[in-house]
Amino acid sequence: MYSHNQLIRLINLKTALEQFQARYGHFSERIGTVRGVRAVAWRVDPIGLQSAKSQPRNAGETKHHMRTGAHGFVLPLTLWTIALMGLAVAAINTWVSVAAENARALQLKVDDELAMANFKNELVFDLGTRSMSVRGLEMGNDLESTTDTPETGPQDLLALMAAPKETSAYVSLDGRPYIWQGNPDYVIQLYDSRGLLNLNGVQQQVLQRFLSLFDVPETLRNQLPDTLTDWIDADDLTSLAGAEKTDYQRLSRHPPSNSNLMTPLEAQSILGWDQVPAIWEADLQAPLFTTCVVSGFNPNTAPETTLLAYIAGMTKENTAQVLADRAKAPFQSAPEFAGAAGVLIPEEAFFLSLIPGGCVIVDFTNRNTNERVRFSLSLIRLIQGQPWQVDYAFHIPSRYRHQIDGIDPKITFPTPETFDSGSQGNNRTPGLQ
């Protein structure tokens, strides 16, 4: 209830407003409650200001303007609220999508790393327990060695590794693809390091022939062997077209390591070697270089490029014939290879090695994502500790990845669990028919 004084003030206020309205224009009334007290608000009608003779609006017009004013305020507020909610929903949806994609990519990476670790362990086991032959890594179950005896079995691991026996199945080390039996989502390609160009021990004339295959200018063909030599050797003497520490410092580049290359990609830090991108692109497609500690050259596993570089006098026609003959059956001796190549090979007994070495380059590819990792695995004998090491490993850039199609699902890289002595090797698909 209002007090006496409050009622008097309200009556006086209403009287004053009515006088103001009668004199200056019309008002519309909006009635509401503020903290439980009935309140009256007045607003000037702009139309009424134009004529002092305008008549006050009736109750219907007043209610209409009340609704119009309220709607004019609520509608923008509603639209802004909806817009903000839409932006919030879109932001949350984007965040969830990005988080889900990142989680999926991380899961794929973890799966690839786990699968590669499992395969590496299997490969170490295979290289340490199976023999090498001119065909590659023998994987059959009828494996025998000259050191075997009926009572004791194999006596010498090194003799077992070098045993020239052929079994019911094998895996070639010339880069042909195999589906991994342990996980069919992955493709394995093995490369014998003896069939590649060893940057830590390549002869100058071999390297120059290799560079000429990529149309490298003559000045670079003379420079690159010398800068490679100066990078590796331990002295500070500069070769004829080489470069030593002062030359690199003058160009604000990292100086030579004066030691063997750790990976083939390290050669891109050598002066001049970064000016031949075609070579590095070809190497990323399929390995051409190695830095393993190996000796000899294996024509049974070498690609066309290294055959042309290593064998003086070889032509592309000769190389095509060698590859065709090798596809039918691997070469058993150096004279057999020389006859197929149609060239004379000086010191062939010390130069050629028709059996793969103890270092293998592996391309490990996910068939679903085409993600490809390359790593080098070497067996290390006559030392304490683990008898193997991973020389290097890196991911192939996405622009150099490619879909591996047309693989016979029967051509698989077997797992050790499938070595069943009772199967007589029939659970193995030969790597080469």
Task: Judge whether 394 lies within some domain.
Answer: yes
The pLDDT tens digits of the residues spanning 365-381 come to 999 999 999 999 998 87
Residue 96, class by beta-carbon neighbours within 10 Å (0-12 exposed, 13-18 middle, 19+ buried)?
Answer: exposed
Amino acid in the structure at residue 1: M
Residues 285 and 377 in one domain: yes
| pLDDT at site 82 | 87
Give the per-residue pLDDT at 68.
54
Q: Are residue 28 and residue 158 in the same domain, yes or no?
A: no
Q: What CATH number is associated with residue 195?
A: 1.10.40.60
Domain-ending residue, one of 15, 41, 57: 57
The tens digit of pLDDT for each residue in 264-300 reads: 999 999 999 999 999 999 999 999 999 998 888 999 9
For residues 176 and 189, is the Cβ–Cβ distance under 8 A?
Answer: yes
Q: Is residue 69 part of a domain?
A: no
Q: Shortest CA distance to 232 belongs to which of 205, 267, 206, 207?
A: 267
Split into its structural domains, the chain has a count of 2
Within a domain: 429: no
In a domain, 95, yes or no: no
Contact present, 260 and 314 (Cβ < 8 Å): no
Same domain (yes/no): 39, 133: no
- Global confidence as pTM: 0.71
Please check whether residues 49 and 170 belong to one and the same domain: no
How many CA atoms, within 13 angstroms, populate the side-chain half-sphere of residue 164?
7
Q: Which structural domain, as residue segments, surrounds residue 381?
A: 118-423
CB contact at 8 A, 221 and 212: yes
**Shared-domain flag, residues 306 and 387:** yes
Q: Are residues 300 and 370 in the same domain?
A: yes
d(CA 218, CA 202): 18
Q: Is residue 144 part of a domain?
A: yes
For the chain, residues with pLDDT lower than 70 are 1-73, 142-165, 347-350, 382-384, 419-433
DSSP 272-339: TGGG-HHHHHHHHHS--EE--S--SB-TTT--HHHHHHHSTT--HHHHHHHHHHHHHS---SHHHHHH
Reported as half-sphere exposure (CB side, CA atoms, 13 A), residue 140 has a value of: 20
* Residue 37, CB-side half-sphere exposure with 13 Å CA sphere: 10
Is the residue at 137 inside a domain? yes
For residue 408, being part of any structural domain is answered with yes
336 and 204 share one domain:
yes
| Amino acid at the residue 87 | L
Q: What is the pLDDT of residue 5?
A: 62
pLDDT of residue 38: 42
Spatial distance between the Cα atoms of 122 and 207, rounded to a whole number of angstroms: 35
Residue 61: what pLDDT?
53
Considering the domain architecture, whether residues 50 and 122 belong to the same structural domain is answered as no
Q: Is residue 67 part of a domain?
A: no
State residue 371's pLDDT score.
92
CA distances from 256 to 22, 259, 291 (A): 101, 8, 16
The reply to whether 33 and 159 lie within a common domain is no
Question: In terms of C-beta distances under 8 Å and separation of at least 24 residues, what long-range contacts does 208-211 make, across chains too?
Answer: 209/308, 209/309, 209/312, 210/305, 210/306, 210/308, 210/309, 211/276, 211/279
pLDDT at 177: 94
